[in-house]
Amino acid sequence: MSGGLELREKALACGLLPRILERLSVISGEKPRVYEDQGGADSPQAKEVKDVKDEPQAQEADQAKKEEPKKNTEKKKRKGVGYSSKQGQAFDVVAYLENAKQRNEQIKTLIDICSGFLGSSEWRATDEVAHVIMESALLPLLEQAFRNGSWLDMAKAAEVYASYLALARSIASQPKLVQCLAKIDPKYKPPQRDPIQKLLRDLHGLANIFWSCLKQQEKPEQSEGAERPERLAKDVTRTHEDVHAALAQHSRDEAGDGFVENALSLPLEQQYRALLEGLRFDYMSMRDPGSTSSNGTSDYVHQYKALAAQNEGPPATKMIRLAQELADLSNALPCEHTNSIFVRVDKQRVDMMKALIMGSSNTPYAHGCYEFDIFCDNKYPNESPKATLMTTGGASVRFNPNLYACGKVCLSLLGTWRGSATENWDPKLSTILQVLVSVQAIIMSEDVYFNEPGFENEAGTVEGEKKNEGYSNIVRYANVKFAMLGQLKNPPRGFESVVQRHFYVKKYEVIKEVKHWLELASKNEAGYTGLVNDHNDSWCSQFKQSKTRYKDMLEEQFKLLEDALNKLDRPKDITNLIT
């Protein structure tokens, strides 16, 4: 049904599409959604659709009544293991599998009909067609299929999934229907758990992991069975890209530049989420296009590239665990103006990641962008991931007793510090997300000096508070110089839009915070001796030159920062704002 504008109009006029969707509901067992408003089922539009749907349901009810006497005459059997519906008759596995096969074939046929009907380039669906689809079992069926999560099971039913994915692409090709793939109106009941776009994004993550595993195999299988998951991975990637592009175009058409204007008119916390939530998680290439290694490919730009080369051929347990964690990260990463975390994963090596942790408000790290390189070797998850801080001012500053100038991160979860049993990495419970949040909340706190083991008992003492202020001053200055100005001038690859939007939205908040730091420099006494000097002797020697030296240096950096913030362009691209 690739053409035929007139044929489609006639088919819609006689209610063919609702009948096909009703049949799909009966065969699949998926319950249709119903739009529940004040008008409810009595609204004219709902009644018109209901009349069409009721006809096949009435026929099935009549058939059920005919069979009822037969069912009632059957002798009731005891429930429990070992009792079948007929005495002496065993469960027929072959018949069960054959019935399941026939059911899938019928579903596939109906899905293909819908896909062909909706995928015409000559015909354009209307809002009424969108409503019919919303009030059917079609979207719940796709959602359930894409929520499966098992690549093995999906590969076994590759033909059916090819039809599901083709249908999603057909829906995406229709401007009036593409909204069906995003989050739908909550008035449709039963409520939607996850929009199809989100489920496709998760499947795309699984496809990337599959490709990563396949590329790391020395001799990939060439059998028909091995080709199925490859075709599925290509199909998933194509569908994800088509749906993402269609929804982005839909947003531009619906709101265009007005979306950004509306977002920027919201309160700060809503602004931040609106403009950055869709950028929390993504895939990218971490190879350097300007370099070439001995095998003809470009080198990775990553702290753990040498270790990655030693960890080819990842075990299934590692990849399955990563698939689960990465699927969760896209929605679990915090995205608040007070604290947020962004993650990028390599397209070919999903065990190689980068994270951008934003310093939490009311800490010396506030608003700064701190880049971390992360790697999971082949012992993962039995052993913790590796993590290195890359924002160190060229190894010139130790941002914390647990964040070394060389980039080392001291944390019990990472196995780089001995903690109690409950603080150490637990393969069954610990996650990459837990590591990132721990770094942000526990290490990058306001009590910088007291993070050094054994020094926490100095908290509240005059000398201890002076040294904490001194260590905090070093962090504040380096934060402005390296984690703010440095990132604005040269944002980390893959995080360019994040850095630009982060500072554009928070410009006045950043300015207010740094002005507050300048006020503290005039009020609070700071100490630059002992542990503070041991960790940052170069900065201490400069700040000790005079009572106003730290404030003068911070003020100089603040002027540069304020100038850079005022030159930021207003965000325009909304391609990545779809969530």
- Give the lowest-confidence range in 13-22, 88-97, 314-323, 553-562: 88-97
Q: pLDDT band for 71, please (50, 70, 90 cuts).
A: very low
* Per-residue 3-state assignment (H helix, E strand, C coil) for 295-327: CCCCCECCCCHHHHHCCCCCCHHHHHHHHHHHH
Q: pLDDT band for 297, please (50, 70, 90 cuts).
A: low
pLDDT digits (tens, 9 = 90+) for 125-157: 999 999 999 999 999 999 999 987 577 778 888
Q: What is the mean pLDDT of residues 356-383?
A: 97
Distance (Å, whole) CA 206 – CA 228: 15
User: Would you say residue 415 has pLDDT above 90?
Assistant: no
Q: Say which of 14, 376, 410, 540 is annotated catalytic.
A: 410
Q: What is the mean pLDDT of residues 396-401?
A: 97
Which of 55-64, 193-202, 391-400 holds the top average pLDDT?
A: 391-400
Per-residue confidence (pLDDT) for residue 222, from 0 to 100: 54
Q: What is the mean pLDDT of residues 333-353?
A: 94
Q: pLDDT band for 69, please (50, 70, 90 cuts).
A: very low
Axis-axis angle for helices 224-254, 158-172 (nearest 10): 20
Per-residue confidence (pLDDT) for residue 289, from 0 to 100: 81
Per-residue confidence (pLDDT) for residue 536, from 0 to 100: 97
Between 66 and 131, the more confident residue is 131
Q: What is the mean pLDDT of residues 241-251?
A: 85
The pTM (predicted TM-score) of the whole model is: 0.72
Count of residues making up the chain: 579
Q: What is the mean pLDDT of residues 316-320?
A: 86
Q: What is the mean pLDDT of residues 68-86?
A: 42
Distance (Å, whole) CA 559 – CA 248: 38
Per-residue confidence (pLDDT) for residue 323, from 0 to 100: 83
Written as one letter, the residue type at 557 is Q
Q: Exposed, middle or buried by CB within 10 Å (0-12, 13-18, 19+), for 429?
A: exposed
Q: What is the mean pLDDT of residues 403-429?
A: 87
* Average pLDDT value over all residues in the chain: 85
pLDDT digits (tens, 9 = 90+) for 161-213: 999 999 999 999 999 999 999 988 889 999 998 899 989 988 887 787 777 66
User: Would you say residue 77 has pLDDT above 50?
Assistant: no
Q: What is the DSSP letter of 421?
A: T
Cβ atoms of 444 and 365 within 8 Å: the answer is yes
Per-residue confidence (pLDDT) for residue 553, from 0 to 100: 97
Q: What is the mean pLDDT of residues 247-266?
A: 73
Q: What is the mean pLDDT of residues 525-534?
A: 96
Per-residue confidence (pLDDT) for residue 557, from 0 to 100: 98
* Per-residue 3-state assignment (H helix, E strand, C coil) for 432-501: HHHHHHHHHHHHCCCCCHHHCCCCHHHCCCHHHHHHHHHHHHHHHHHHHHHHHHHHHHCCCCCCHHHHHH
For residue 14, indicate whether it is catalytic.
no
Q: What percent of the chain has pLDDT over 90?
A: 58
Q: What is the mean pLDDT of residues 432-442?
A: 96
| Torsion angle defined by CA atoms of residues 28, 31, 32 and 33, in that order, rounded to the nearest 10 degrees | -140
Per-residue confidence (pLDDT) for residue 573, from 0 to 100: 55
- Give the lowest-confidence range in 251-265, 380-394, 452-466: 251-265
